[in-house]
Structures are given as structure tokens and as C-alpha cells.
Structure 1
């Protein structure tokens, strides 16, 4: 870091984190190097892990908000600073920092709304168009692209804007044009960026899904494209996981894709890494439990679901799934009373959840 060899510093830090994913020194190096290289997404991943270990550290919270600002996520940055300001009402520096962030967020939202208001006025003021014309969603997206492309002419190093334009082309199903923009961004940017790589992967997935939708269910063409899609996206995700080894969100995505194709062993490795991320911890534990169930390791599956439920409060869809999976483990272990108890807890709040009605009725009919 001191020698400004930021990529080298990140490489050394990644080796440390591969052996110890929660090493605070390694994550601090990643944060400092990512800030110098303008990699906000990488910064955010490490800052979230540092904050998990030090939840009351005000400086970490401010750093996280700053990284979100760099990424353009003003709403979340404002929300984080608001919470910090609320629990530290006597800190004038922090209160001012929150006001600054809130002001920037307001300006950003105002510019965004003004852009589209101007667009609406321009269309409404077009004398050649009928006064009562209602624009379609496609027309609105095309107008939005025109404005963004005009802006890009004056901001030719604004690669984030190039990515945003590509995303709109994906919405329009104009995939050739979208990939032209992504190719331009990658060629000109010349710096690895996980958010761009993920956007490109999402565009490929959208194109596959669009093509798949052209064929009827069960047709050989559709099944062939689905297999091609899954293979391509898994390969792409593996490459991104290797390229960004310290980013738990990519590990989580890799675990999901491996789980879907039945690669339980490799999926376990990915979810074990991903659970270090506060954002993905509960879902990672849920998937780990399911992976262990697939392998018949019911005691280990039980442990994962119980750990997740200890950290889960509100009885939402995620908790229902955790409780359901836990009950299924008890079924496999030959413990019908415990299984019925948990199925009933879901039945009491959501009778339509999966096959919980049949599970509960079967339990009563068997006299459990």
C-alpha cells in the first residue's frame, strides 16, 4: 500500500483471506487498495465483514456509506448514515456528515427526476404527436437511451453510464446493442470490475431466457438451450469467483448454481465461504443444510438450520423455509413428533405454504 502497488497489495491480502476469510488485516488492506483503485463493490464486501466484527465502529460505518456513494447507491448510503446519526446524537461531526450525505442524495434524486420530467415535457411539446398520446414502455425506454447516449458523448470516460445504457438495451431485448456497449466498456476501462462482469453475466442470462421462451415446454430445442444456459452461467460464475476470491456474494451465487446442478460437495465449499457475509449468511446456512441433507448427513444439516433460526426473528418466507427444512430433517431421522411440531408452526401462520397441510394431516392421522 505504501508503495502504491495496490493490485499487488490486494493479491497478498486475497492469499491471507483464502486461509482466514475473516482476517481483519486482510480486509483492511482490501478496503484501502480498492479505494485507491476505485473498486467500490470490492470495498463494500470487505467493509461489511469488518463491520460485522465491529458493529459499533463509527468510522467503518462512514467508510461504508462513502463506498455506497462511490457506487451511486445514494439511498442506502443515506439510510446507513441516518441510523448512525440517530444513535450518536451528540456527535456534531457525525451529524454534519449525515446532513452532507442526505443533501447529496437529495440532489441526485432531484437530477434523476428532473431528467425524466424534462424528457416527458419534450415529448409532450412535440406538435407532431397527438396531444392525447400515451407512450408505451418501449418508447419510454428508447427515449431514456437517447438521453443517456447524448450524455455519454460529453462523458466518454463514464463507463458506469455505458453499463447503464447496456442494461436498458437488455430490457428492450436488443441484446446485440447491449453487448456492443459491454464490449466497449471492457475494452476502454481495462480494469477488472466485478459489477460490470456481473452485469454482463445477467445480460447473457436474459438472452438465454428470451431465446428459451421462443420454444414450447418440453421441446428438445428448449431443453437444449436450458442446459446450454446453465453450463455457460456456471462456467462464467466459476471464472468470476476465481477473479474476485474475496467477494462472498460471488461465492454465494456460485453455490446456488452448483446446488441447482446437484454438485453438493463443491456447493458446500462455496456456501461455507459465503456465510461470512452478513447479507448472505442465513441463506448460506439454509443451502448448507440442504446440501448436507442431499448427502444424508442429517445431524450436520440440523445444525445449519438451527444456527440460522437462532439468528432469525420475524416469521417471514425465509423463516418458513428454514422451519420446513428443519422438520424434514426430523422426518428423515425418524423423529415424527419434532417434525410435526415444526410443520404445525408453519400451518398456524400460512396454511398454503408448500405441502404443509398434507404434512400436518398425515401427522394427526398417524397419531403422532
Structure 2
């Protein structure tokens, strides 16, 4: 059996290897990063975070799923790979060699799944199938295999997501339709710990009280109805202040009432009661941020109404600065709690950018850029950081790369093109600047001042 190895468990020499590999990734030196990471995961088969980084680099170098034969390019047979459980490291090492130039390979990832299960490493098995899911999102057989894997590990929320993808691919897939509903119900029970409480009504002393809460448990309630629901939940909370479901529901009511301060307090308390439920932690952070923004907006409104009130104007500047610094502190703590999560890195980079700390924002955004789900947003913000530091050529390279990766002319692409136009303008390249603005003009006439910029160029 192979145990998962975390970054904290690396030896000093291995940690140095890991740092060098990440630095290579940050510098877009993917071939060198692959050589370092592959050596590291071969030495440490249980270092899943390193394997994830390795696969991400291989995908950067080979972004398209290959359409060759089932086992094209393989130097060893899958029967040899999966025939023995005695030499797990050799099996996994051989499979990594095959995946280097074809990371989305279905047969090799399937062999990796089998080998991982044989040696008792289900997290790696799931990762192998998730890689196939990313490269071949329409392969129903592999999606069913992944969903079944999550079900067998009692991970209904993840299974429900995969079944949802299957239903979108084939609405007539009755197994996927039923399984998605079953897994969603199971996930809800798991989250709310209904299995331990047996049922929601078991914690209620009065069936009339239960019915009242059932009827009011919906969105779109009036202020009076929300206050009534809050009263019922508060009574239940008074009986048992460790009741996670009650605490979470109270937080939800305060959120609907837009009482951000109380919503934050109860979501934060709910997180402390839960088994480190990240969704509750994120909710608490969201409510805290909304509370700070509401305070800033109130002061901004008052300052706008009294522009000659010097004290109020100074208060607005100070309060805005403090709110931004508090957000940075919150994001730093989240990164410390989960240092390998690219989303928290991105949020810290965003907070540092908002605070005007562009230098510290850059390395956070460079790390976040390696995640395909937030890559474009991270690159856009990186471009803004470089621009703010007057590094216009570097900002331009970053944004040009992001623009190439965006096919659809959506709001993000328009913003990127607009910045590209401004940067070329700063660099004195009028033709390139106009070309960027023209692309936006052709898609949306009313975008910012693009029409004025483009049309004025024809009258000069």
C-alpha cells in the first residue's frame, strides 16, 4: 500500500528539488520542470501533488489528446504493467514514462488507475481518471468508471458532478440520471450530517415548529417572514448551540437579510463546528468581504454627498485602505491553510493588487496561472501588475498570450484587447493599438470608448 506524501513530509533534498521544479514552471520552462518532477515522483510514488504538477506541465507541452491507436507509442504492454503487485514503484514509473508525451492517453491512464488500485492508492486512481475526463470529456465509459470510483469511496458530491456531465452528454442515460439524483441526495445527507441526527425532525420537539420551518425554508421571503424564520431557528439554537444545521441556517437567513456582519459570525461559527468544511469557510470569507465593502460604500456615499467635508474624505481613504489590508490578511491565512490551492493563490494575488502591492501579487498570480481553470484571469491580472510597474513590454507579452488562448469574444477577451490597445499606445505603436481596438469595435460598438478611438483614427 502506498500512502499519500505531502509537501511537508519531503526531505530537505526533495524539498529543494520541488522548489526548483516549481520555479521552472513559473518561468514556463516546462521541459525542465518535467525532468525534475518525473524524477521526484519516481522516487516518491505517493507524492500526488508533485504528480499533479508533472501532469499539468506535460499537458502544457502536449495540449491536444492524441488520436493514435489504442497503445500507439507504448514500449511495454499493459499486461506487464498490471500483472504484478509486488513492484508498484516500477509499474508507476513505467506508466509515467508513457504519459510524458501523451498525458491524456486513455489506455495508459486506465492502466495507471488499475495499478494504483492494486497498491491501495485510490487518490492516484481518481487522478488518472480525472486526467482522462479533462482530455476526453465525451468518453462515457471512462466517466462512468470515474463516477463508480467516487461512489465506492463514499464521495457522493464528486460522483454527482461526473454523473451530471454524463447526463449532459446523453440525457437518455437512465443510469446516470438516477445515479446523479441518488448521489446528490447522499451528498446533502453527508453535508448536513442527517445520518447522525437520523432526521431533521428528530431535533425538533414540536411538530408544528417543524412544519413552520419547512414552509419557510425557501428563497424570496419577505422581511417579516425572514424574521419569523430567524425566531424559530434562534429558539432551536438556544436549545443546542452545537447544532451545525441550525447555525448554518441562521447564517443563511442573515445572508438573505443582507446582514453581512451576523452572516459572517454564524458562517464562521458553523465552519468551526464542521469538519473543516471549506464551503463554509468560503462563505464566511465572502460575508466578511461583503460587510467591509458595505461599510466602504456607505462612507463613499456620504463622502460623495459632502465633497467639501475633508474629515469624511480622509475617513474614506483610510477605511478603504484598511478594508483592502484586512482582505490581504484573510487571503494570506487561507494560503497558509492550503498552500497548494491555486484558487487561494489567485485570491491573494487579487487582494494584493487591490492594495497596490503589485510586487508581492506577481509571484502569487504566476503560481495561480498554472491552473487551467483560472489561468486567463491570472494572466490578465499579471498584465495589470506589470503595467502598474511600468513594465509595459512584459504586460503586453502576458496579455498577448492570454488573448491567443481565448477564442470566444467574451467580456474577458474584450478587456484583454482593450488593455493591449492601451499598452501599444503607451509604447508608441499606433497601428497595433488601433488593430486591438478594432477587434472590439467589430464585436461591440458601445464598449467603453472604443468607438471614439476607432472612428477618430479615420478622421485624422
TM-score of the superposed pair, with normalisation by structure 2 = 0.57
Alignment-derived partner of residue 270 in structure 2: 185
Alignment-derived partner of residue 136 in structure 2: 56
Give 2:325's match in structure 1, choosing from 231, 236, 239.
Answer: 231
Closer, same or farther: CA 63–305 of 1 in aligned 2, 3 Å: farther
Q: CA deviation at 1:356?
A: 0.9
Q: Distance in 2 between matches of 1:236 and 1:17?
A: 27
Give 2:303's match in structure 1, choosing from 217, 229, 238.
Answer: 217
Q: Within 5 Å, which residues of 2 pair with 1:268-279?
A: 268-279=362-373
Alignment-derived partner of residue 284 in structure 2: 200
Q: Within 5 Å, which residues of 2 pair with 1:1-368?
A: 9=6, 11-12=8-9, 20=21, 25-27=47-49, 51=131, 55-56=135-136, 58=142, 62=147, 76-83=161-168, 86=170, 96-97=175-176, 99-105=178-184, 137-142=222-227, 145=230, 159=244, 162-175=247-260, 177-182=262-267, 184-189=269-274, 192-215=276-299, 216-218=302-304, 219=312, 220-366=314-460
Q: Distance in 2 between matches of 1:259 and 1:147?
A: 43
Secondary structure of 1:209's counterpart equals helix
Q: In 2, are the aligned partners of 1:167 and 1:203 still within 8 Å (CA)?
A: no
Q: Distance in 1 between matches of 2:459 and 2:222?
A: 54
* Deviations, residues 283-308 of structure 1 (Å, cap 9, x unaligned): 11111122222223333222222222
Q: CA deviation at 1:240?
A: 1.0
Closer, same or farther: CA 81–316 of 1 in aligned 2, 3 Å: same
TM-score of the superposed pair, with normalisation by structure 1 = 0.69
Closer, same or farther: CA 257–121 of 1 in aligned 2, 3 Å: closer
Q: CA RMSD in A?
A: 4.6
Unpaired runs of 5+ residues, structure 1, are 31-42, 110-117, 124-134
Q: In 2, are the aligned partners of 1:324 and 1:343 still within 8 Å (CA)?
A: yes
Q: Distance in 1 between matches of 2:161 and 2:407?
A: 23
Q: Distance in 2 between matches of 1:71 and 1:153?
A: 32
Secondary structure of 2:135's counterpart equals coil
Unpaired runs of 5+ residues, structure 2, are 26-36, 42-46, 53-122, 189-210, 305-311
Q: In 2, are the aligned partners of 1:292 and 1:298 still within 8 Å (CA)?
A: yes
Q: Distance in 1 between matches of 2:373 and 2:215?
A: 42
Q: CA deviation at 1:179?
A: 4.7
Q: In 2, are the aligned partners of 1:74 and 1:108 still within 8 Å (CA)?
A: no
Q: CA deviation at 1:323?
A: 1.2
* Deviations, residues 309-359 of structure 1 (Å, cap 9, x unaligned): 222122111111111112222212221111111211111221221121232
Q: In 2, are the aligned partners of 1:10 and 1:29 still within 8 Å (CA)?
A: no
* Deviations, residues 8-43 of structure 1 (Å, cap 9, x unaligned): 74644896876656868433889xxxxxxxxxxxx9
Closer, same or farther: CA 350–176 of 1 in aligned 2, 3 Å: closer
Q: In 2, are the aligned partners of 1:18 and 1:245 still within 8 Å (CA)?
A: no
Aligned residues: 325
Q: In 1, are the aligned partners of 2:261 and 2:291 still within 8 Å (CA)?
A: no
Closer, same or farther: CA 65–365 of 1 in aligned 2, 3 Å: farther
Q: In 1, are the aligned partners of 2:440 and 2:450 still within 8 Å (CA)?
A: yes
Q: In 1, are the aligned partners of 2:268 and 2:284 still within 8 Å (CA)?
A: no
Q: CA deviation at 1:98?
A: 5.5
Q: CA deviation at 1:250?
A: 0.9
* Deviations, residues 145-190 of structure 1 (Å, cap 9, x unaligned): 567678889998774763453243133244564355345334434x
Q: In 2, are the aligned partners of 1:302 and 1:329 still within 8 Å (CA)?
A: yes
Q: In 2, are the aligned partners of 1:208 and 1:229 still within 8 Å (CA)?
A: yes
